[in-house]
Amino acid sequence: MPRQLVHVTHGFSPVYDENSRILILGSMPSVKSREVQFYYGHPQNRFWRVLGNVLGVTFPDDVQGKRELLLANNTALWDVIAECDIAGSSDASVRNVVPNDLSVILKTAPVAAIFTNGGTASRIYAKFQRPTTGREAIPLPSTSPANAAWSEERLTAAWKDAISSYLI
């Protein structure tokens, strides 16, 4: 039986400061991420391991440590969706999207490149945010465990190839 759509509001703030040079955008926090009130909270999501490999750091398990390491590496993190209807954590089920206003970050930080984590984030960015930002986003393969076709090693290589030239 398919899960029922539920209206969900994002619920937590973006991570950025006046030094953020790259912006990574996901779609909508998973059920687990909404429970822990921070990005990529499900232990099977490979985001923190992949980004850690790209940056040459090991991200701690705690939210404050992750936030500090993102900022220390000039990396902003947010999602393209402010609210939507969704079944569980399924990006494929997303309906009735209300996008986040990325100007909050882009007016403050010298973002040199915007990256999207996965196909849903890429599509929603292209539909809702690109017309207002006037900026292209570089699509990255999803770190979600649902993207089983991509190993962690393959994800790391693709992310490193895309992101490394923008890092200081």
- Tens of pLDDT, residue by residue over 98-135, are 999 999 999 999 999 999 999 999 999 999 999 999 99
Its pTM stands at 0.95
For the chain, what's the residue count? 168
Which residue's entry shows tokens 């992750």?
66
Non-local (6+) Cβ contacts of 68 within 8 A are none
53 labelled catalytic:
no
pLDDT tens by residue, 1-57: 457 999 999 989 999 999 999 999 999 999 999 999 999 999 999 999 999 999 999
| Candidates 19, 45, 73, 96; catalytic one | 45
Parse the chain into domains and list their residue ranges. 6-166
- Topology of the domain covering 6-166: Uracil-DNA Glycosylase, subunit E (3.40.470)
